[in-house]
Amino acid sequence: PSAVHHTSTTNVARTEIPRLLVKPGSSYHNSLASFLEHAARSNLLPNRTIYIGTHYEYTVAEALLRLGFSLIRTGQKNDAGIDLVGHWMLSVFREPMPVIIQCKARENKCSPVEIRELEGAFHSVPQDWRNKDVLGVLVSPARASEGLRKQMYLSRRPVAFLQISRSGLITQFLWNRAAAERGMEGVGVTPRYTVLPLAAVNIPVRCRDANGRWVKGSNPPVRIQKPQVRTVVTDIQLTWMGTPIFPDKEGLALET
């Protein structure tokens, strides 16, 4: 998509999102919502590999909007290992950073082999990017293994790793020296803590029968709140030279 985008700490810089001519991964859906509708219409079951992979790719694309990524889903058969492609829009960059993303929707940790596969995907970047510094990103619900880290740091390609849960929570972001030298120097991450609103808890009224056993009572469940129960969600916050930065999502669409 092409739109005006800006990132802010205290001031605002406006950047035009470059147009990108690539073939979408599907003609039936272009967002998580439209994919879920398509899956329901076509009776695609959630336990199918294609469902799990596509759902995760759209979840990753939506989650990365918060960090300023504008992405198109290209994942399909014979996709050359590129599931998402687009630009990372931060005003601290000299220009929007081209990115290719591989998504691994499995719970076990990725191995060094996946980094080597990501390196191979650089040969299939869009033609217009052949002479540009492109960032390759590997995304998984599991944390980076020690072997993966070592392989990533040894790579001469600018590569990064993101841990994103199946629900879209971003909890780890690592990159190598080559990525820092090609525009990411000064970018950092820090933990972000979000306290969720107190949730009401349904507790049914229960009583004992003639034999002293607990049974559900005839009264309806009582809705109460437990003030002592709080849920804190931890994810990451981008920084620039140690100062938090907040990419504005205005103009970035959920549709890829």
The number of beta carbons lying within 10 Å of the beta carbon of residue 32 is 22
Please enumerate in sequence order all residues whose Cβ is within 8 A of that of 231, keeping only pairs 6 or more positions apart, or say none: 195, 196, 199
The number of beta carbons lying within 10 Å of the beta carbon of residue 15 is 19
CA 149 to CA 146: how far, in whole Å? 5
Q: Which residues of the chain have pLDDT under 70?
A: 1-15, 21, 78-79, 198-229, 249-256
Q: What is the pLDDT of residue 22?
A: 75
Residue 226, token pair as written in the block: 């437990």
What is the SS3 assignment for 50? helix
Q: What is the pLDDT of residue 6?
A: 44
Sign of the C-alpha dihedral computed for residues 134, 140, 141 and 143 taken in this order: negative
**Beta bridge partners of residue 202, listed in sequence order:** 223
Sheet of 243-244: strand order equals: 187-195, 232-240, 243-244
Q: What is the pLDDT of residue 79?
A: 64
CA 61 to CA 69: how far, in whole Å? 8
The number of beta carbons lying within 10 Å of the beta carbon of residue 61 is 27
Domain locations in the chain as residue ranges = 4-186+240-247
Q: What is the pLDDT of residue 12?
A: 44
Per CATH, domain 4-186+240-247 is 3.40.50.80: no
Q: What is the pLDDT of residue 215?
A: 57
Residue whose pair of structure tokens reads 């005003």 in the numeric block:
91
Q: Could you report the per-residue pLDDT of 30-66, keeping only the tens digit for each?
A: 999 999 999 999 999 999 999 999 999 999 999 999 9
